[in-house]
Structures are given as C-alpha cells and as structure tokens.
Amino acid sequence: MDHRKTTKAERKEQARREREEIERRRARARRNQRMGVLALLLLVAGGIAFAATRPRPDIPQVGDLLAQADAAADTASCTKVSQPGPYDPADEDRSHVDSIPSLETYASTPPASGPHSASTLPAGVYDSAPQIGQALHSLEHGAIIVWLDPGGPGPEQDRIEAFFEQSESRDHTIVAPYDYEGAAGVLPGGTGMALVSWHHIQTCARPSLAVAAAFADAYRTPTIAGGDYLGDAPEPGVPL
C-alpha cells in the first residue's frame, strides 16, 4: 500500500477534477430540465393544434336555417307548437319553492311553467340534466330550452349544441338532456327533442337544428333573428 503523502499540486489537481465533475453534473441536469420543458411545450402545442383542426359540425347561418324550418319540421316529424296551460292550481304557476314538486304534477312533459327555484339557470349547453327548478325559472325570463333525448346523440344533436354554444346564439337558450326521476322525468315515447318556452311546447321525433332555430326566433327573448316575439313569458328578456 502506498502511504506516500500527496503533494500540494496533486491535491490542487484532484480538487480541479472534482469541480469539473460537479459542473458536468449541473450542466447535464440543466440540459435535462430544458428538454423536459421543451417536450411539455410540444405536447401543449400539439393539443392546441388538434383542437383547432379537429372536425367540427357544420354551423349554418341563421337565415338559412329559418328558410329550411318548415321542411325540417316535416322531416323530423315535429308537432305544431302547443300551449299546455298553467300549473294546477294556477296561483302556483309562478311560485318560488325550495323543493320542486313531482314532475307528474306539471301540465306537460317537459314542464313549460309551474313552481320553480328562486334562482335561474344560466344560458348554455349542458352535458347532464341541470336543476329543473332553475330551468323553469329561466323560462319565466323569456328563455327557451332545447331538451334532448340523452339516449339519442348523433350528428344533428352535435350541430344543435355547436350552434347554441356560439356567443351570438346562446342568449336566453338552454340546451340539455332531459333525464330526471319518474315517468315524467323522461321525454315521451318517440320524442327525440322537445322545445319549451313559457306555456309553449313543440316536440319532434328527431332533433332538428332548423326547427330549434325557428322556435328561438319566435318564443325566445331576444329572438334569434329579429322575428316577432310570440311568447308570453311574464318577465321577457330579464337576465338569467
């Protein structure tokens, strides 16, 4: 075994080598960190590019939809707009309640008026059934609801959702699946879409964007294309 003492020059050289090794490790760590950040940025950029270029449902102009509405109503097997009347007893048609009565007690399925929550439901497209009492209060303010069969998604439903997600189309419009408890918590048999405003309802066997747009141009406040308002909401146009 060599017990020779190291010289000052050797100790200095050893310290230099150790410092160089430490610096190499630090440089390697910085390089790995930069590569990780770059990989993350590439991943985010790829996600943004995919979102920007993924196929989207065709969104037509409102005027074109309104021109197609009558023919579309026949194709989708839609009823005429009907008026189911107020809740019974009528003095509770606009009442605010903490607990919503059974949907079987309302004058139509889906309901077009009746006891409802004190707060409204904001306009928008909902993936799941929203709070029904809030939705009914929104009708009182001149909103419409496009109720869809939760078991029947398809291209036309995608078009409806994409159309009413637009800022210029979503005002006072709610699009949501109708999916609640009880026999009156689902759309009537053979119904794929129900259009509801205060005291007005139209049902269709199949969803139709053109029919929904025409309903919005008659029974929503503000109407979607400046048409005459045909509804009778007690507080038309009040913010949701």
Query: pLDDT tens-digit profile of 9-24?
Result: 767 777 777 777 778 7
Average pLDDT over residues 53-77: 85
Q: How far apart are CA 163 and CA 7, in angstroms?
A: 83
Q: How far apart are CA 81 and CA 79, in angstroms?
A: 6
**Residue 124 phi, psi dihedral angles, 5° rounding:** 150, 180
Is the model's pLDDT at 237 over the cut of 60?
A: yes
Average pLDDT over residues 118-139: 97
Largest CA distance in the chain: 108
pTM of the model: 0.77
Is the model's pLDDT at 99 over the cut of 80?
A: yes
Would you place residue 2 in the very low, low, confident or very high pLDDT band (cuts 50, 70, 90)? low
Is the model's pLDDT at 56 over the cut of 90?
A: no
What is the DSSP code (8-state) at residue 196? E
Q: How far apart are CA 12 and CA 161, in angstroms?
A: 74
Would you place residue 102 in the very low, low, confident or very high pLDDT band (cuts 50, 70, 90)? very high
pLDDT at res. 50:
46
Tokens of 170: 């979503």
pLDDT at res. 168:
79
Angle between helices 62-75 and 209-219 in degrees, nearest 10: 110
pLDDT at res. 6:
67
Model pLDDT for residues 168-186, shown as the tens digit of each residue: 789 999 999 999 999 999 9
Q: What DSSP assignment string belongs to 75-98?
A: HTTBPPPB-----SSGGGTT-B-S
User: What integer best gives the mean pLDDT of the chain?
Assistant: 89
Tokens of 134: 């809030």
Model pLDDT for residues 27-49, shown as the tens digit of each residue: 777 777 777 667 676 676 665 55
- Residues sharing a CB contact under 8 Å with residue 62, sequence separation 6 or more, in sequence order: 169, 213, 217, 224, 225
Tokens of 162: 């994409």
